[in-house]
Amino acid sequence: MKPRLGMWAGALGVVLLALSTLAAPPAGGAPAAGAFVARIDLQGPIGPAAAEYVDDGLQRASRDGASAVIVQLDTPGGLSDSMRQIIASLLAARQPVLGYVAPPGARAASAGTYILYACPIAAMAPATHLGAATPVSLGGDNPLPIANPPASSATAGKPAADAEATKVLNDAIASIRSLAQLNGRNAEWAEQAVRGAATLTADEALQKHVIDLIAPAGHALLAAVDGRHLRVAGQELTLHLAGLPIRDYPPNWRTRFLGIVTHPTLAYLLLLAGVWGLVLEALHPGVLLPGVAGAICLLVGLYALQLLPVNYVGLALMVLGMGLMLTEALMPSVGAIGIGGVVAFVIGSIMLFKAGVPGYAVNLGVIGGIGASGMLLLALLLRLVTRSRRARPFNGDNQLLLSTGELIQPVGAGGEGWARIGGEQWRVHCDRALPAGARVRVVGREGLLLRVTPA
């Protein structure tokens, strides 16, 4: 019996081992049934909404069990803080991340170049380009100066870059070089992209080993990387992605809302609507609608401003301009206060967002339209004020002599009767016979008796 029991126990162990092997997920082998690749489509300027979208998409892909994630790029660049958040999310991802500049005609400029360098695999579609990663000075739209320029350059004799600008430039260079070294790419060209705003087409980027491959579409990209070895989250992986379906991960409602309210032009209009709504409520207490709508718009606009690169001098000029225009409306002058307010408002609007950050500027057409509207309202106000000052004052008998009214009883020729004039009943005298309801005009007054004629 003992030999038989040992034989049955051994057979049962072999069966259990085989079942556990079949049930275990493949490690570096063929993909399991139901496997897929997630795609995050990152388009437009890099800002808070884009950073939240990438982080949320990577987390959702991890929960859903995606085999890999494609981060598809088409961006002119954006905010450095948001770019660093995206890079941190990519480096912490538990799935292989494939950076892909697509579709044809797309670009990964400025912050997009850093993001592409942070991806373990970088690819581009034909007719795309990347580069121009020089950080922008916070004080204007000029790029930061090149550290240690050659003596023979056109900048010889000019003052050297200040310490703050040099620190920002060197920090950007160190950041992109570290990403290049992490993923085994061309670190020298990465430094050129930061120092000299160098750019490359897809073919040039492949030749210089800035990217790993060129693929015309997403499925071609998966087939091209099939069989490659990567180190992800401390583990060596072999990619088996050929033929897997691609599942798009669009932004959720919160990310969409954040992307809408953080658009510079919309944030600017929300701020204006909020301020003028509260002003209207203050001038006409009890209306409620302008005050409630203005408070909501102002709070949403301020929330957007604290996420955007705001120039507070420009914001102060806008507030000053609106205050001067309001002063002109309440205490009309010769127009100097109002004109100064419009000028300050327009200059502040142009300066509101820090220049040079791609995609983060208020539309100049909107600013011009609001400025022109302010000038038209100011001209109308000045015209009304001028007309009122030139007009002859009407009060007492002067005002009564131009009034018209209606007879409430018939009047005979040279007789007297009653008429309603200016909301009051007056005894009137008329030289002509008029029926009740006839319109009359006041031409004289004798005490409490008015002399009238047909109007």
299 and 274 in contact (C-beta within 8 Å)? yes
409 and 418 in contact (C-beta within 8 Å)? yes
338 and 328 in contact (C-beta within 8 Å)? yes
3-class state of residue 165 by DSSP: helix
Q: What is the pTM of this model?
A: 0.68
Q: Would the CA dihedral through 341, 344, 349, 353 be positive or negative? A: negative
pLDDT tens by residue, 91-123: 999 899 999 999 999 999 989 999 999 999 999
pLDDT tens by residue, 419-440: 998 778 889 888 888 888 889 9
pLDDT for position 32: 53
For 146, residues 6+ apart whose C-beta sits below 8 A from its C-beta are 161, 169, 195, 196
Q: Would the CA dihedral through 241, 245, 246, 250 be positive or negative? A: negative
Q: Would the CA dihedral through 152, 157, 159, 163 be positive or negative? A: positive
State the DSSP H helix or E strand holding residue 232, giving kind and residue range, or none if neither. strand 229-232
Calculated CA dihedral for residues 114, 119, 122, 124, nearest 10 degrees = -60
User: Six-digit token pair at 287?
Assistant: 């209306």
CA distance 432 to 430: 5
Calculated CA dihedral for residues 314, 315, 317, 319, nearest 10 degrees = 170
Q: Are strands 229-232 and 235-238 parallel, antiparallel or unpaired?
A: antiparallel
Nearest CA to 110 among 33, 47, 34, 181?
A: 47
Integer-rounded Cα radius of gyration of the chain: 38
pLDDT tens by residue, 291-344: 899 899 989 988 888 888 888 888 889 989 888 888 887 777 767 788 888 889
Does position 21 have pLDDT exceeding 60, yes or no?
no
pLDDT for position 159: 46
433 and 452 in contact (C-beta within 8 Å)? no
Tell me the HSE value of 440 on the side-chain side, using a 13 A CA sphere.
Answer: 34
Residue whose entry in the numeric block shows the structure tokens 């309603």: 420
User: Six-digit token pair at 97?
Assistant: 């991340």
pLDDT tens by residue, 43-55: 988 988 999 999 9
Nearest CA to 96 among 248, 238, 218?
A: 238
Higher pLDDT, 407 or 28: 407
Residue 158, CA distances (Å) to 148, 161, 207 in order: 12, 9, 37
Buried (b) or exposed (e) across 276-292, using 16+ Cβ within 10 A?
Answer: bbbbebeeeeeeeebbe
Q: Are strands 199-201 and 129-131 parallel, antiparallel or unpaired?
A: antiparallel
Q: 84-88, 215-219, 343-347, 391-395 — which is least confidently predicted?
A: 391-395
Beta strands in 149-222 (DSSP E): 199-201, 213-214
CA distance 206 to 375: 55
The percentage of residues in the chain with a pLDDT greater than 90, rounded to a whole number, is 33
3-class state of residue 346 by DSSP: helix
Categorise residue 326: left if φ over 0, alpha if ψ from -120 to 50, beta otherwise.
Answer: alpha
CA distance 434 to 395: 28
Tell me the HSE value of 377 on the side-chain side, using a 13 A CA sphere.
Answer: 13
| CATH architecture under which domain 33-145+164-254 falls | Alpha-Beta Complex (3.90)
3-class state of residue 419 by DSSP: strand
**Helix, strand, coil shares, percent, the chain, to 5:** 45, 20, 35
CA distance 44 to 50: 8
State the DSSP H helix or E strand holding residue 241, giving kind and residue range, or none if neither. none
Domains 33-145+164-254 and 397-454 in one fold: no
pLDDT band at 127 (very low <50, low <70, confident <90, very high): very high
User: Six-digit token pair at 216?
Assistant: 């015309």
| CATH architecture under which domain 397-454 falls | Beta Barrel (2.40)
- Sketch the domain layout of the chain as residue ranges: 33-145+164-254, 262-308, 309-386, 397-454
pLDDT tens by residue, 259-273: 888 888 888 999 889
Tallying the residues shown for the chain, one arrives at 455
CA distance 132 to 394: 71
pLDDT band at 392 (very low <50, low <70, confident <90, very high): low
